[in-house]
Structures are given as structure tokens and as C-alpha cells.
Structure 1
Amino acid sequence: MAKFDKRRYAEENGRYLEDLAGKAGVNRLPNGVLYKVLESGEGKMPTLSDVVSVYYSGSLISGKVFDDNMGQPYPDSFRLRELIAGWQIALTRMKEGDRWMLYIPASQGYGSRGDSDIPGNSTLIFDIRLVKVN
């Protein structure tokens, strides 16, 4: 088995975002977070102090899913200020009912350290639906 090349992995993830940034329908948010609107809602927009209820599926650029609650009967709820920066940046611009594809650079996700099943320097891809703002 080949040794994991951290530098090459980081470069591949950076290139992925660069290539994606030029595609039709892909928009840029602060700090390199990209998104594509899949469905538009008309509800309330959250602030960092709100609790958000969301359905989401998170994957790496390889397609490997690392977290997913899409098939669950109820969305998961989180205090927005406690989530990764990429979610904070995007969700404060979403409305209840919105569904976006988020493309989050490592710097706005888990950085160079990673997290459990997520290697360091990973671009995170989320299909996320904002269900409710409390």
C-alpha cells in the first residue's frame, strides 16, 4: 500500500476548488467557501446565536461520505456558532427551505489536522438543507 502523501493530497484538494470556482452556477462566499443553490426557500435566515435544524450529507472530493443524516426521520439540530467556520459562513446566508451544495476549503473546515474519518487538508462537500431556525 502506498504511503499517504499529505502535500499531494492538499494540492489535489486545492485544485478541486479552483476548478469548481469557474463552473456555471457556483458562487463564492468569504474565505473561499463555494456553493451552488439546489433549491430556494423563503424562510428565516439564522444568526450565529441561533440553533439550526438541518439535513445534510458530507463527503470528501473522492466521494467518500463521512457523515449523513438525509435518510433520518428528523433533522439534526446544532447551535450555529459551535459549527465549523464553513457552515457558519454559508448558513448565515441561507433561508429556511434552502438546499445548497457547499464546497468548504480545509481552512474553513477541519484544517491540517482533520477529524476522525477526515484527513487533514480535506475539502469538505456538503449537500445541506436548512429546515428550521430557532
Structure 2
Amino acid sequence: MAKQEYIDKNKEWLRAKAQEPGVKPLDKGIFYKVISKGRPDAPKPNRNSVVVVHYTGTTINGKKFDSSRGGTAPAMRLRDLIQGWIIALQQMRVGDRWEIYLPAEMGYGRFSQPGIPGGSTLIFDIELLGVG
């Protein structure tokens, strides 16, 4: 598949996903679906927070490129992560588990990463376990 064809296919997948029941928009073309909710009074992270999360990342064809599940949940400074995570996680509360759908520009853009072709829409199943 040609690179532009791949990029177009990813954009079309995201447009279709956005129309599904339960899928809601965030800023910058990001969409999400709530899998489970934490307490409504649980803390939310900000850009400078350290977040503890379990996550699995896949491309639109279902290929898993990264996962913390089955190991210790990593602690990461939110501002050091990809733009899509920074935006989505600031809307989550501890205990929330969301599936987020990131347009390529909110992930790695046109640049390829191991297991992720440039122009990929990224799908993450993220569970926010803690905020520090």
C-alpha cells in the first residue's frame, strides 16, 4: 500500500470510529470511549503530573505495538508523552479506563516508530491508576 493511501485509510477509519455510539470527541481530532469510570471525585492529572497507567497500544489493523499489561504499571511525567496522551489523560480521573483514538498528528505524525508506520491512527486502551 502506498504511503498516502495508508494515511488516507487511517483518516477514514477515524472518521468512521467517531460516528460509533459511545464515542466522544476531545480537542485536536482525538476521540474516546469510556470502558469504565473511576469515582467522580477522584483526582485528575495536569501536564506536570506523574501518571501511573496500564495501557495497550494498537494500530487500526489490530496490531499491538506496545503494552504495560502483564507487568508493573509505569509511572511517566505526562508532559513528556505524545500530545494525544497529554490531552486525553488530563480529562481522565484516577480509576477511569478509556479507549482513545488519536489522529497521526497527535501521535507520531509522519514519522515511523518500531511497529508503527508513519501516518498511523493510534488506539490506546488506557487505565489511569494514579496521579502524583
Corresponding residue for residue 30 of structure 1: 27
State percent identity of aligned pairs: 45
Equivalenced residues, count:
130
The CA RMSD over aligned residues, in Å, is: 0.7
TM-score by length of 1: 0.95
Per the alignment, in what secondary structure is the counterpart of residue 67 of structure 1?
strand
Consecutive unaligned residues of structure 2, counting only runs of 5 or more, are: none
User: Matches of 1:115 and 1:71 in 2, distance apart?
Assistant: 22
Consecutive unaligned residues of structure 1, counting only runs of 5 or more, are: none
Map residues 71-90 of structure 1 onto 2, 5 A cutoff. 71-72=70-71, 74-90=72-88
Amino acid aligned to 1:111: G
Q: For each residue in 1:39-62, what CA deviation from the matched residue of structure 2 results, as whole angstroms up to 9, or x when unmatched?
A: 001221000000000000000001
Which of the numbers 9, 14, 22 marks the counterpart of 2:6? 9
Q: CA deviation at 1:117?
A: 1.7
Map residues 1-134 of structure 1 onto 2, 5 A cutoff. 4-42=1-39, 43-72=42-71, 74-134=72-132
Q: CA deviation at 1:114?
A: 2.3
Q: Which runs of 4+ in 1 moved over 6 A?
A: none
User: Matches of 1:76 and 1:36 in 2, distance apart?
Assistant: 22
User: Matches of 1:82 and 1:114 in 2, distance apart?
Assistant: 18
Per the alignment, in what secondary structure is the counterpart of residue 8 of structure 1?
helix
TM-score by length of 2: 0.96
Amino acid aligned to 1:40: K
User: Matches of 1:70 and 1:127 in 2, distance apart?
Assistant: 10
